[in-house]
A and B are shown apart, each in its own frame.
Chain A
Amino acid sequence: VQLLESGGGLAQPGGSLRLSCAASGFTFKNYGMSWVRQAPGKGLEWVSSIIDSGHSTYYADSVKGRFTISRDNSKNTLYLQMNSPRAEDTAVYFCAKGVYGDLSRWDNWGQGTLVTVSS
């Protein structure tokens, strides 16, 4: 199993950024996926989850209405569209693979991509 995040970098407050997570080594379409973030020097914070089919999504209140999780099962890729980012969204963003039948237990993680929101 390999999860490779990309798309991080410097984002302007109120701008937009899209993170990607390329998955390999497992049948991507069969597993729920999630994004978890970690602000510098802080603990882990769940951001969003999406079921295997993509038909149901879940968000933390802190990002609801601004971030959108999606997936392309034909490309084995998970996405996080970040609109109107704020300084408090600055963090390392990890994508995480759910276990079979459990969207919210994560047995494989990417290495993370750093997003810095600053003008």
Chain B
Amino acid sequence: DIQMTQSPSSLSASIGDRVTITCRASQSVYKSLNWYQQKPGKAPKLLIYAASSLESGVPPRFSGSGVGISFALTITSLQPADVATYYCQQSYSFPITFGQGTRLEIK
């Protein structure tokens, strides 16, 4: 199974800050890496697919990068609406696996 490790587990930042969350795979997943945002009590929402493609309707302050085993999700200017938990997910092979999540709060 491919293990996905996110860091940090939690993060506190100020409005307008640039925020980066990283995700590392235990083996190469090429570009088959997706990012989801989950707000409390809600279903996850797809933000980024294929490592760097922005899902339709997602604000352009979100971006993704990386290939192989190392990936990142960046929010260029943090907004109050971005308070959520973020998960990376590899879709390269079954079993599909998620990172443990990064909880993002406003300082």
Closest to B99 in A: A43
Q: In chain B between 57 and 83, which residues have their CB closer than 8 angstroms to a CB of chain A?
A: none
Count residues of B near A (Cβ-Cβ below 8 Å): 21
Question: Given A44-B36, A44-B87, A111-B43, are A104 and B98 also a contact pair (CB < 8 Å)?
Answer: no
The minimal Cβ–Cβ distance linking A33 to chain B, given in whole angstroms, is 13
Question: Given A61-B95, A94-B44, A110-B43, are A44 and B101 also a contact pair (CB < 8 Å)?
Answer: yes
Question: Given A43-B87, A44-B87, A94-B44, are A105 and B34 also a contact pair (CB < 8 Å)?
Answer: yes
Cβ A107 vs Cβ B55 within 8 A: yes
Q: In chain A between 83 and 119, which residues have their CB closer than 8 angstroms to a CB of chain B?
A: 94, 99, 102, 104-107, 109-112
Across chains A and B, the number of contacting residue pairs, with CB separation under 8 Å, is 48
Question: Given A109-B44, A110-B43, are A43 and B91 also a contact pair (CB < 8 Å)?
Answer: no
Closest to A61 in B: B95
Check B46 for interface membership: any CB of A closer than 8 A.
Answer: yes
A106 to B87, CA, bound (A): 13
- Write out the residue numbers on chain B whose beta carbons fall within 8 Å of the beta carbon of A44: 36, 38, 44, 87, 89, 98, 101
A112 to B91, CA, bound (A): 21
Check A49 for interface membership: any CB of B closer than 8 A.
Answer: yes
- Write out the residue numbers on chain B whose beta carbons fall within 8 Å of the beta carbon of A112: 43
Check A58 for interface membership: any CB of B closer than 8 A.
Answer: yes
Cβ B95 vs Cβ A46 within 8 A: yes
- Write out the residue numbers on chain A whose beta carbons fall within 8 Å of the beta carbon of B97: 46
A49 to B95, CA, bound (A): 10
Question: Given A105-B91, A111-B43, A112-B43, are A46 and B49 also a contact pair (CB < 8 Å)?
Answer: no
Check A72 for interface membership: any CB of B closer than 8 A.
Answer: no
A-B contact pairs, 22 of them (CB 8 A): A43-B99, A43-B100, A43-B101, A44-B38, A44-B44, A44-B98, A45-B98, A46-B89, A49-B94, A58-B95, A61-B95, A102-B91, A104-B91, A104-B94, A104-B96, A105-B91, A106-B44, A107-B46, A107-B55, A109-B43, A110-B43, A111-B43
Could you tell me which B residues sit within 8 Å of A by CB distance?
A: 34, 36, 38, 42-46, 49, 55, 87, 89, 91, 94-101
